C-alpha cells in the first residue's frame, strides 16, 4: 500500500470558510510535506479553484452531478475537473443519492479523470458500490458521525467487513473509514484493520489549531 489518505471534509461549517479555510489548507500542505502522508481536502464549492491554485495538496469536491448543459444550480463533473480538482466525494450521508445516481456519478468522474470517493453506511452498501469501481469506498456509520466516538474503536467490525466485502467485488478499490476519527491512534487502528486512510471533518475543521491536530493524526504512521 502507498501512503494512506487523510481526507478532510469542510462540509458547510463556518469554520471551513474564508480565511479559516485557508489556514486549514496551509496546515494540510505543511504537514503533508513534512510527514509524507497524503492529506487531501474537500472544501466548500466556492473554495475549489483557489485551493487548487494555491496549495500543493489533493483537492476534492464535496459533490458532483453527472450532467452538463441546462441544469441550473448543479455541479457538473467537468467544472470540478476544470477547477483543478483531484476528485470528489459521492453519496455523503448528508448528500445521499440513489444507487443509479451513484453509478452515473462514478461514471462521470471517470470520464472526466476524477477520483471518486463513494461514501457508504454499511458493509452491504459498500459491496454494492464497489461494483461501480470507484477509487475509494468511504464507510461511515451515520450514528457515529460527529459524535467524537471513533469508528475504529466503537465498530472495528464494520471496517474489517467492508474491506473484505469490497475486495471480494473489486480488489482495486481502496477503503477509507470515517466517523469520530480524531487522533493518531484512531488512524493507526483504522490502517491496522485494513483501511487505506480516513475521512474526517469536525475534528480538524473546528479545531483551534488544525495544524496540531493534523500532526497528531499522522504521528503514528
Q: What is the CATH number of the domain that holds 96?
A: 3.20.20.70
* Per-residue pLDDT tens digits for 87-145: 999 999 999 999 999 999 999 999 999 999 999 999 999 999 999 999 999 999 877 77
Mean pLDDT, all residues of the chain: 95
Q: Which residues are catalytic?
A: 92, 140
Query: Does the pLDDT of residue 221 top 90, yes or no?
Result: yes
* Per-residue pLDDT tens digits for 169-213: 999 999 999 988 999 999 999 999 999 999 999 999 999 999 999
High-pLDDT (> 70) share of the chain, %: 99
The grid cell for 14 is 463556518
The answer to whether 176 touches 136, Cβ cutoff 8 Å, is yes
Q: Cα(210)–Cα(221) distance, rounded to whole angstroms?
A: 18
**How many domains does the structure of the chain reveal?**
1
3-state secondary structure of 134: coil
Q: Cα(70)–Cα(93) distance, rounded to whole angstroms?
A: 27
Query: Does the pLDDT of residue 1 top 70, yes or no?
Result: no
- What is the domain extent for residue 67? 5-218
* Per-residue pLDDT tens digits for 34-84: 999 999 999 999 999 999 999 999 999 999 999 999 999 999 999 999 999
Predicted model pTM: 0.96
Amino acid at each position: 500500500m502507498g501512503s494512506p489518505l487523510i481526507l478532510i471534509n469542510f462540509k458547510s461549517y463556518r469554520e471551513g470558510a474564508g480565511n479559516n479555510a485557508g489556514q486549514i489548507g496551509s496546515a494540510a500542505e505543511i504537514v503533508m510535506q513534512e510527514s509524507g502522508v497524503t492529506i487531501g481536502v474537500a472544501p466548500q464549492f466556492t473554495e475549489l479553484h483557489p485551493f487548487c491554485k494555491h496549495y500543493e495538496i489533493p483537492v476534492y469536491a464535496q459533490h458532483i452531478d453527472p450532467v452538463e448543459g441546462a441544469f441550473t444550480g448543479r455541479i457538473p463533473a467537468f467544472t470540478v475537473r476544470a477547477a483543478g480538482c483531484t476528485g470528489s466525494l459521492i453519496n455523503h450521508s448528508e448528500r445521499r443519492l440513489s444507487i443509479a445516481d451513484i453509478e452515473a456519478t462514478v461514471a462521470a468522474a471517470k470520464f472526466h479523470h476524477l477520483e471518486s470517493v463513494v461514501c457508504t453506511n454499511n458493509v452491504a452498501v459498500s459491496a454494492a458500490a464497489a461494483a461501480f469501481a470507484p477509487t475509494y469506498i468511504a464507510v461511515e456509520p451515520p450514528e457515529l458521525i460527529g459524535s467524537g466516538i471513533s469508528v475504529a474503536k466503537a465498530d472495528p467490525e464494520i471496517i474489517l467487513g467492508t474491506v473484505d466485502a469490497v475486495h471480494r467485488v473489486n480488489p482495486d478499490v481502496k477503503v477509507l473509514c470515517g466517523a469520530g476519527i480524531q487522533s493518531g491512534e484512531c488512524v493507526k487502528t483504522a490502517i491496522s484493520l485494513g483501511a487505506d486512510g480516513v475521512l474526517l471533518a469536525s475534528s480538524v475543521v473546528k479545531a483551534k489549531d488544525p495544524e496540531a491536530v493534523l500532526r497528531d493524526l499522522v504521528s503514528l504512521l
